[in-house]
Amino acid sequence: MGSVIHFWEIRIAPVRPNSTRRRQARSFRTEAQLLDSLAVLLESREFDTISIDNITRRSGFAVGTFYKHFADKQAILEALFARYQEERTMLLRRA
């Protein structure tokens, strides 16, 4: 016969919504810094000559952090393009 676990015996950690929001904000900032690093590198170099290592070194993050946010170099370029499109759209709406 198996043992029975009663609901009052189960311990569940309390949900901390603030920690989730902080983690999301930190993740957003990290992604923005990686995008900013690529943007700066693109000012002086062609995309094909920029490595993931160049991007992470410039941003101060590890390569693993890059891969946590982007699948590959093409993905970060697409994200940067999407960010520029969003900024352009916002500027046009203001005009």
Confidence (pTM):
0.77
Task: Answer whether 39's CB lies under 8 Å from 33's CB.
Answer: no
At residue 45, does pLDDT exceed 90? yes
* 61 pLDDT higher than 80: yes
With CA atoms as reference, report the closest residue to 55 among 29, 43, 73, 71.
Answer: 73
Q: Hey, what amino acid is at 38?
A: L
**Nearest to residue 43, comparing CAs of 80, 68, 79?**
80
Nearest alpha-carbon partner for 73 in 54, 60, 88, 59 = 54
- pLDDT higher than 60, residue 5: no
